[in-house]
């Protein structure tokens, strides 16, 4: 039975991984600004371009359908062009892989930065994610998503619970769960459940299961700062070039002939 599910999940993965032909990012990233601002431990949210992205965005009512962890160079791994692999992510059809930053230069992205995370814990978060490179993508997640391909309305109160997908297998994972587990390793909060201890008169935080996280949660988390690359390096709105303000090129004006000297 497991073989059949894996086979069906693989077929669905290939279909859902197809790029949407009419996708055009409204605000693509500034490659140089993005590269200059990112730090290890940052979460890079992506407005995905494939078919599964539309499903995730619908279920979460969000712009973001994918998340990758910026770790800095993963060992000495590079692309064929020599670009370092600096992102760790879980991709449909691939599993957990390392990727170059240029992969998302043409996409709409957002940086979410854990606030006050120590250098030691930042290293532990990145190491945890990098050690899972090679894990399989959880195709049980694809089987669960099959029913969402049918265009039926889904009440808002059920959408969050529907994201608790997958097999729960320790070596199979999806993108948000990978990053959530990495931060859980150092007990850094994302969106913890808050319970009230009546006896002690205090609030207690409870870590949510990693399967309940979606890319948007890093955006709305009160413990992650949204970093905008175009502002981080200094921004001068006066220096912007607007198409409707371009001055016409000055044209040469012929000098008027000097008046004739009055007759003596």
Residue 184 tokens, joined: 């859980």
**3-state secondary structure labels for all residues of 195-212:** EEECCCCEEEEECCCHHH
Helix (H, G, I), strand (E, B) or coil at 63: coil
Which candidate, 60, 140, 57, 129, places its Cα nearest to that of 96?
Answer: 129
Mean pLDDT of successive 10-residue segments in the chain (264 residues)?
50 55 67 93 87 67 88 91 94 87 92 96 96 77 51 55 45 68 94 66 54 84 93 85 69 60 50
What is the per-residue pLDDT for 214? 82
All domains of the chain, ordered by start, with CATH? Answer: 2-232 (3.90.1720.10)
Which candidate, 26, 30, 71, 33, places its Cα nearest to that of 49?
Answer: 26
Instruction: Flag whether the pTM goes above 0.85.
Output: no
What is the per-residue pLDDT for 115? 94
């Amino acid at each position: 039975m497991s073989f059949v599910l894996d086979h069906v999940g693989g077929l669905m993965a290939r279909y859902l991984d197809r790029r949407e032909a009419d996708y055009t990012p409204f605000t693509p990233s500034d490659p140089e600004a993005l590269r200059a601002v990112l730090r290890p431990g940052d979460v890079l949210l992506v407005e995905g371009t494939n078919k599964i992205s539309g499903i995730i965005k619908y279920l979460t009512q969000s712009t973001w359908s994918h998340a990758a962890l910026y770790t800095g160079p993963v060992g000495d791994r590079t692309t064929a062009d020599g670009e370092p692999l600096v992102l760790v992510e879980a991709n449909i059809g691939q599993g957990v892989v390392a990727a170059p930053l240029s992969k998302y230069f043409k996409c709409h992205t957002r940086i979410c930065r854990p606030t006050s995370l120590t250098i030691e814990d930042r290293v532990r978060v990145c190491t945890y994610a990098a050690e899972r490179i090679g894990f399989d993508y959880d195709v049980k997640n694809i089987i669960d998503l099959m029913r969402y391909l049918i265009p039926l309305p889904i009440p808002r109160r059920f959408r969050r619970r529907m994201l608790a997908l997958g097999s729960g297998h320790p070596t199979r994972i999806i993108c948000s769960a990978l990053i959530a587990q990495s931060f859980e390793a150092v007990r850094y909060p994302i969106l913890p459940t808050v319970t009230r201890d009546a006896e002690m008169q205090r609030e207690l935080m409870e870590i949510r299961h990693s399967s309940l996280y979606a890319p948007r949660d890093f955006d709305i988390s009160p413990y992650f700062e949204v970093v905008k690359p175009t502002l981080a390096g200094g921004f001068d709105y006066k220096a912007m070039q607007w198409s409707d303000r371009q001055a016409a090129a000055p044209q040469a004006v012929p000098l008027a002939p000097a008046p004739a000297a009055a007759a003596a």
